[in-house]
Amino acid sequence: MKNSLKLTALFLLISSILFGAVPPKGISKKSSSKDIVTFHSLPAKAGVDVVVMKQAPGKVTVVLYDDNSNMIIHEVVPAKKVMEKRYVFSKLENGKYTLEVTVNKHSTTKNIMVDNGQCRFL
């Protein structure tokens, strides 16, 4: 009886070490970062308000492309946990634009139409 109890305890100890210490492939011990990027139109101006809520401090890259994939704006913004930046597009020519925000190597894009000094999301 004592031997079976010892073997059971040893088996439980070994299984908890094996399955508790090493995560399966593809799963990190750290919680996955859920950075949130939101876009809001500016009501009084032709522009966009970009808000980034990050899990950890780092850099945020904001790039604006025209319809021909020419880079209009390229900006690297240091961000703590929250970054808010307003971009006014009233001086841009009429046309379609793509606003790309990159956080921790993950990009979020938003298509924008500028028409007669007004800005709207597509």
Looking at residue 115, which CATH number applies to its domain? 2.60.40.2550
CB 72 within 8 A of CB 64: yes
Averaged pLDDT of the chain: 78
> Torsion-angle region of residue 40: left (phi > 0), alpha (psi -120 to 50) or beta?
beta
Mean pLDDT within 99-118: 88
Into how many domains does the chain fold? 1
For position 24, what pLDDT does the model report? 46
Q: What is the pTM of this model?
A: 0.67
Residue 53 lies in a domain: yes
Q: For 18-60, how does the pLDDT look when each residue is reduced to its tens digit (9 = 90+)?
A: 555 444 444 334 434 578 889 988 877 788 999 988 887 788 8
Instruction: Determine the Cα–Cα distance for residues 93 and 112; give it in Å rounded to an integer.
Output: 12
* SS3 category, 10: helix
Nearest to 101 by CA among 7, 41, 9, 37: 37
State residue 63's pLDDT score.
Answer: 94
**11 three-state secondary structure:** helix
Residue 69 domain-assigned?
yes
User: Domain residues for 59?
Assistant: 30-121
| Domain presence at residue 93 | yes
Of the candidates 85, 88, 97, 74, the residue with the CA atom closest to the CA atom of residue 52: 85
Domain assignment present for residue 71? The answer is: yes
Sheet of 82-88: strands edge to edge? 36-41, 47-53, 82-88
pLDDT for 16: 56
Please give the single-letter amino acid code of residue 117: G
Residue 3 lies in a domain: no
Is residue 20, in this structure, part of any structural domain at all?
A: no
Residue 6 placed within a domain:
no
In a domain, 10, yes or no: no
